[in-house]
Amino acid sequence: MSRLDRSLIAGLPVFQGMAPEDLDRVLQQARSLRIAKDQAVFEQEGEAHSFFLLLDGHARVVKTTPDGQQVIVRYISPGELMGIAHALGRSTYPASAVAAVDCVVLAWPGHLWPELAESFPSFGTSTYKTVGARLQETQARVVELATEQVEQRVAHALLRLVKQTGKKTDEGILIDFPISRQDIAEMTGTTLHTVSRLLTAWEEKGLVKSGRQKVTVVEPHRLFVLAEGRADKS
C-alpha cells in the first residue's frame, strides 16, 4: 500500500495544531478505503474494530430502534470523524453508518484511539469536542420530537442540512448530496406521506424546490420562521 500523504488531513479541525511529523505518525497507522453508495461503513452493535475519518462524500448515521424502526441520527460531512465508539467507552458501535454517496474514508484500528488521544492531546481534545457537540445535537433532536409539530421538525432538519452542506446556486441553497423524502421522514420521526405533503406545500409558497433526491431551500429565512413556530405571513 502506498504511503498516505499528510496533505489529506493537514488543516482538518481534528488534526489542527499538529506538527507535520505527528501527522505522518498518525497516517502510518491508517488505511484508505472506498465505500460504495448504500454500503455500510460499520454496523450498529458490531465490534468497534475501527474508527474513521470521512475524506470525501457523505454518510448517514442510522439508529435502529428495538421495534425495528430506522431513524437517521445525522449526516457526516468530509473532515468529520465517525465510529468513535471508544471515545464513548464502548466496544461496539451505537449506530450504523451508511454511505449516502460513494465515499473515501481513512480507517484506524479502534484499539489505537486511546493511544492517539494520549500521544496527541489536540486530537483527543478535538475528539471529545466532537462527541460533546453530537450529544448536544441529539438532545436538541429529542426535544424537537417531544415538543414540536411535524412542520417545525422538518423545517429544522432542512435548515441543519443547509448549514452543514449547503451550496449556493441560482435557485437558492442546495443540500449538496442526494437526500430522499424518505430520508427526511426518518430524520424527523414522521411519514413519507407527511414529508411529501409539506414539501409540495412549501414549493407552492416558494420556500423550497425539490426533485428526485434533491432539495434546494429558496427562502431560508421564511423556513426559519416556520421552524420557530411563527406564522409565515407570505
Three-state DSSP at 6 gives helix
Query: What pLDDT shows up at residue 215?
Result: 95
Q: According to CATH, what is the number of the domain 3-145?
A: 2.60.120.10
Three-state DSSP at 168 gives strand
| Per-domain boundaries in the chain | 3-145, 150-227
Report the greatest alpha carbon distance in the chain.
60
Cell of 15: 488534526
Three-state DSSP at 78 gives coil
As a 3-state breakdown, the chain gives helix, strand, coil percent values, each rounded to 5, of: 45, 25, 30
According to DSSP, residue 2 is labeled P
pLDDT by residue, tens only, the chain of 234 residues: 457 889 889 889 888 888 999 999 999 999 999 999 999 999 999 999 999 999 999 999 999 988 888 889 999 999 999 999 988 889 999 999 999 999 999 999 999 998 998 888 888 888 888 888 888 887 777 777 777 899 999 999 999 999 988 999 999 999 988 999 999 999 998 999 999 999 999 999 999 999 888 999 999 999 999 998 865 544
Going 59 to 215 to 68 to 148, the CA torsion angle's sign is positive
Contacts of 212 (CB under 8 A, 6+ apart): none
- pTM here is 0.83
Domains 3-145 and 150-227 in one fold = no
Distance CA 116, CA 188 (A): 36
- Range 150-227 has CATH code 2.60.120.370: no
